[in-house]
Amino acid sequence: MRFFLGGETTPSRAIVQSAGAAYRLDARILKEEFHRAGPVQRLLLRYTQALITQMAQTAVCNRHHSIDQQLCRWLLLSMDRLPSNELKMTQELIANMLGVRRSGVTEAALKLQDAGLIRYSHGHIEVLDRPGLEQRVCECYGVVKQEFDRLLPDLGAL
């Protein structure tokens, strides 16, 4: 994304959170397509707007909601982008994504497991009851999902 926004480098890094298929595109080709001001440009700009909404809402969520609610939000957003209801991730990665301690993730995951919403074991989470997660999650999930659905209706799972 940094290339079509005008920067050639970034101090941040990308982390692959889940196994699956991915595409790689040479940055030069992406910039050329972006500058044609066609469908690729419009798609990337809408995606950027949705991503900014997600980042802002995550900051609000991390400040105002419980770790349980944050974990529900994160699980639901992940499920929206994956073809299955299973995630292979360590507690440490989830803790880093949520900005909390590993023990907080363990406690929150065990609460969700005790409620029958997920099955949780070393590096593996299976969502058993998505509607149950949707009932426990804070409003932040809905804000982000609504914005992605509005801006990127044709994409389904990203």
| Residue indicated by tokens 């999650």 | 137
Given strand 86-87, what is the order of strands in its sheet?
Answer: 86-87, 124-127, 118-121
CATH topology assigned to domain 66-137 = Arc Repressor Mutant, subunit A (1.10.10)
Given this model, what pLDDT does residue 75 score? Answer: 95
Label residue 4 by pLDDT band (50, 70, 90). low
Its pTM surpasses 0.75:
yes
Which ranges in the chain belong to alpha helices (H)? 27-35, 39-64, 67-81, 91-98, 102-114, 130-136, 139-151
Least confident of 15-29, 38-52, 80-94, 127-141: 15-29
pLDDT of 110 higher than 50: yes
CB 68 within 8 A of CB 106: no
Where does residue 135 rank: exposed (0-12), middle (13-18), buried (19+ CB within 10 A)? exposed
Label residue 138 by pLDDT band (50, 70, 90). very high
Highest mean pLDDT among 85-94, 95-104, 111-120: 111-120
Given this model, what pLDDT does residue 147 score? Answer: 95
pLDDT of 145 higher than 70: yes
Spatial distance between the Cα atoms of 56 and 84, rounded to a whole number of angstroms: 27
Spatial distance between the Cα atoms of 21 and 64, rounded to a whole number of angstroms: 34
Q: Where are the domains of the chain?
A: 1-8+24-65+139-158, 66-137
**More confident site: 91 or 6:** 91
Closest CA to 126 of 80, 79, 87: 87
Spatial distance between the Cα atoms of 66 and 70, rounded to a whole number of angstroms: 6
Q: What is the mean pLDDT of the chain?
A: 87
CB 110 within 8 A of CB 104: no
